[in-house]
């Protein structure tokens, strides 16, 4: 009882106050559903971790709302003040519901606590915020976004400047920040000092990002008549992406008009994620009508990019690994034998083969660009979930707009020789071997199902997947020296295939990552299909 009462007393948002008051009234009338809902909203606190905060909008300590965000901002500000007299923090936000509200609350609280707070001038992609942390020499950055999560989610992503170079936080900083947030949460946010003396960044920040990103791959003459389609997936990517395309010298794309402007309802997609079935259907229709050569899609905060190409059976979205290997080969050719490539351990091992062929180091990391971006001597990094870091000297995070420019450059160069992106993939496979990958993703309502499935696989690991024997089993909760550690199970199979299980870090999903290597594309697809069947039989 006290939990919701204290919450109502400090909540500055009339919408969530009304929502909670109605729920309490129903619960007091013995409405069982309301009682269950109320209990779930105050079952604990939405925990701050290396991904910051992310969750469903609504009233209560287990939801994203102005109270929780104020506690996070004040706690993070106190963390920064513990090591600097007047730290500088820059704040960005996307087009989701309440993103602008959460960003302004944060700016006011940072300023009220004595920090120099700089709010980006309007809703912008996440990569612009990551860039701004370095460009402005800030001590930290905050991005209000839930990226490609469902429409009623929002989140709070944290970056550190200085020695961290504008990368997302990692342990132990996450636990230290969480401690400061918990201390703030013991009081009322109504008592926190606020100030309107925060700054609004000028357009020079955005212009500098546009210039640096366009320089990733200036357009060659062969791009002049290139026809392509772009969708922003109802997110914030288009304004910045269009400016970058113009600055780099590429022709503007045909756009998916229904998805080009920010819309927090995401009305044309079930999930605003280019990986989800159906999310790119409108882009496929637009590309077919335009006679396009390829499609580029950003996710809602434009830190990821998807690419689709025409094929004999219609349009096909390239896998994240296919794009990752194409961009990895591009980076390796430009590296001149110096530097390293990096990917998450669930991404294609084909990147390691590219690194070997070009005399570069290769690093496998835990999932997330907070780890990939910290690989030593990095020239390129990627993860299979459509995340690519192509310009580490500018942005130390995945960046769907700079990756888009790199893809445009590859397409234009291939076009000059009468080739396509699909041709580049085939040629790369001939060079490094035929790698194929797939993902089996199980979405659950009850999160305990994920834990019980992982526990079952740990206790009784399969000796084979179908007809292919397991050569080695790694439980990365207990990693070998030099290996990344986490809640990950890795099965290395005879013949070079592998299966990796891990819970999603941002969604209620259990994911299985499948990789095979073969001597031909048909053989790779046959092996992958058989492996996928065996994995589904095991966990579904």
Written in H, E and C, the secondary structure of 11-25 is: CCCHHHHHHHHHHHH
| β-bridge partners, 512 | 440, 501
Query: Do 503 and 509 contact (CB within 8 A), yes or no?
Result: yes
Radius of gyration of the chain (CA): 23
Question: What is the Cα–Cα distance from 341 to 322, expressed in whole angstroms?
Answer: 15
CA 279 remoteness from chain centre: 17
Query: Do 380 and 328 contact (CB within 8 A), yes or no?
Result: yes
254-255 and 228-231 strand pairing: parallel
Question: What is the Cα–Cα distance from 419 to 396, expressed in whole angstroms?
Answer: 32
Question: What is the Cα–Cα distance from 513 to 502, expressed in whole angstroms?
Answer: 8
Question: What is the Cα–Cα distance from 286 to 283, expressed in whole angstroms?
Answer: 5
Query: Do 167 and 374 contact (CB within 8 A), yes or no?
Result: yes
Question: What is the Cα–Cα distance from 42 to 182, expressed in whole angstroms?
Answer: 15
* Active-site annotation holder among 147, 348, 373, 437: 147
- DSSP states of 98-131: THHHHHHHHHHHHHHTT-EEEE-SS---HHHHHH
Tokens standing for 409? 């450059």
Residue 510: its H or E element: strand 509-518
Please confirm, yes or no, whether 188 is among the known catalytic residues. no
Active site members:
147
């Amino acid at each position: 009882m006290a939990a919701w009462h204290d919450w109502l007393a400090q909540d500055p948002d009339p919408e969530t106050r009304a929502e909670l008051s109605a729920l309490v009234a129903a619960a007091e009338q013995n409405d069982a559903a309301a009682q269950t809902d109320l209990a779930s909203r105050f079952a604990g606190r939405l925990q701050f971790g290396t991904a910051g905060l992310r969750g469903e909008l609504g009233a209560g300590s287990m939801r994203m709302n102005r109270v929780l965000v104020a506690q996070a901002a004040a706690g993070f500000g106190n963390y920064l003040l513990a090591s600097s007299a007047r730290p500088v923090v820059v704040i960005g936000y996307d087009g989701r519901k309440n993103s602008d509200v959460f960003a302004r609350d944060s700016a006011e609280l940072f300023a009220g606590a004595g920090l120099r707070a700089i709010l980006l001038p309007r809703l912008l992609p996440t990569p612009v915020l990551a860039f701004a942390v370095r460009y402005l020499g800030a001590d930290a950055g905050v991005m209000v976004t839930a990226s490609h999560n469902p429409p009623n989610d929002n989140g709070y992503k944290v970056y550190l400047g200085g020695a961290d170079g504008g990368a997302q936080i990692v342990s132990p900083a996450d636990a230290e920040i969480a401690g400061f947030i918990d201390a703030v949460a013991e009081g009322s946010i109504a008592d926190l000092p606020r100030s309107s003396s925060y700054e609004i960044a000028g357009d020079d920040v955005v212009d500098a990002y546009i210039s640096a990103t366009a320089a990733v791959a200036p357009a060659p003459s062969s791009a002049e008549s290139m026809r392509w389609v772009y969708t922003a997936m109802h997110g914030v990517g288009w304004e910045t992406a269009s400016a970058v395309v113009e600055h780099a010298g590429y022709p503007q794309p045909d756009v998916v008009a229904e998805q080009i402007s920010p819309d927090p309802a995401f009305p044309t997609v079930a999930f605003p994620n280019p990986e989800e079935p159906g999310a790119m259907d409108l882009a496929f229709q637009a590309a077919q009508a335009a006679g396009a050569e390829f499609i580029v899609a950003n996710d809602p905060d434009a830190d990821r990019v998807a690419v689709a190409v025409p094929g004999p059976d219609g349009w096909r979205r390239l896998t994240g690994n296919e794009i990752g290997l194409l961009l990895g080969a591009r980076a390796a050719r430009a590296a001149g034998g110096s530097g390293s490539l990096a990917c998450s351990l669930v991404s294609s091992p084909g990147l390691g083969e590219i690194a070997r062929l070009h005399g570069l180091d290769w690093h496998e990391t835990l999932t997330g660009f907070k780890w990939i971006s910290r690989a030593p001597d990095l020239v390129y990094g990627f993860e299979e979930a459509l995340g690519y870091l192509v310009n580490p000297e500018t942005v130390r995070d995945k960046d769907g707009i700079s990756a888009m420019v790199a893809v445009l450059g590859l397409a234009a160069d291939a076009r000059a020789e009468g080739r396509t992106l699909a041709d580049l993939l085939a040629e790369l496979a001939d060079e490094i071997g035929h790698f194929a990958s797939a993902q089996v993703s199980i979405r659950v309502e009850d999160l305990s199902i994920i834990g019980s499935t992982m526990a079952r696989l740990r206790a009784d690991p399969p000796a084979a997947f179908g007809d292919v024997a397991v050569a080695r089993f790694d439980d990365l909760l207990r990693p070998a020296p030099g290996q990344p550690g986490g809640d990950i199970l890795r099965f290395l199979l005879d013949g070079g295939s592998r299966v990796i299980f891990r819970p999603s870090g941002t969604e209620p999903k259990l994911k299985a990552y499948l990789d095979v290597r073969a001597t031909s594309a048909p053989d790779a697809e046959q092996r992958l299909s058989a492996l996928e069947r065996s994995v589904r039989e095991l966990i579904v």
